[in-house]
Amino acid sequence: MLLIGAYLLGSIPTAVWIGKYFYKIDVREYGSGNAGATNTFRVLGKRAGIPVLLIDVLKGFAAVNLAYISNYTPHSNQFTNLQLVLGIASLIGHIFPIFASFRGGKGIATLLGIVLAVHLFGALSAMCIFIIVLLVSSYVSLSSMIAAVLFPVMVILVFKERVPSLVIFSILIAIMVLITHQKNIERLLRREESKAKIIKKKKKAEKPAPAE
């Protein structure tokens, strides 16, 4: 039952519902075609993108924490394993949502919520890497991939994680993100990937015309 609950939480198609209800637009028909936060920002702007981002993160976080209503002792290996399984179930729900014809997003925001719940410091480190790369490159996809690839490095080498399931999970995260971003990698190589407008440049004020 917990697995079903985690999958259903992940299946909440935030981007699709917000886009259709408030903007009469299915974000999957525009931009990258993904029902995720990044495409929502691109298609509908930050007023729609911010709620989608926050709710998608919360989906993963809440799904993982369903483990607390199980009979396992918190922070035991069995408990951690259950958390990871529930997190994966919510991620599958986000990518293949039953409430949106199994056409979802890439799961980066939901994955962040999962990682925040199972390895807080690793998640915060990955977020810092993501922000730095984004500020330098303006590519959300590139920032996501670099943060994901470096996440297992941080977990294994920096935080010295000894729970085998967490180590394996961190490696699988990196692999999954690279797989789901294949098209982004192709566009990056062709220099066709869209950049995020982080800081909008102010237009220079026009000089008043000289009086006749």
Domain boundaries, the chain: 1-114, 119-197
**What are φ and ψ of residue 20, in 5° steps?**
-75, -40
Cα–Cα distance for residue pair 92/7, rounded to 1 Å: 7
Indicate the DSSP class of residue 190: T
Tokens for 181? 């971003």
Q: Which residue, chain included where needed, has tokens 């294949």?
A: 182
Of the candidates 45, 11, 10, the residue with the CA atom closest to the CA atom of residue 25? 45
Cα–Cα distance for residue pair 38/41, rounded to 1 Å: 5
pLDDT (tens digit, 0 to 9) for every residue of the chain, 212 residues total? 899 999 999 999 999 999 999 999 999 999 888 899 989 998 999 999 999 999 999 999 999 999 999 999 988 889 999 999 999 999 999 999 999 999 999 888 999 999 999 999 999 999 999 999 999 999 989 999 999 999 999 999 999 988 899 999 999 999 989 998 998 999 999 998 888 776 555 545 445 555 44
The answer to whether the CB of 87 falls within 8 A of the CB of 117 is yes
pLDDT in tens, 155-205: 999 999 888 999 999 999 999 899 989 989 999 999 988 887 765 555 454
Of the candidates 38, 15, 37, the residue with the CA atom closest to the CA atom of residue 27? 15
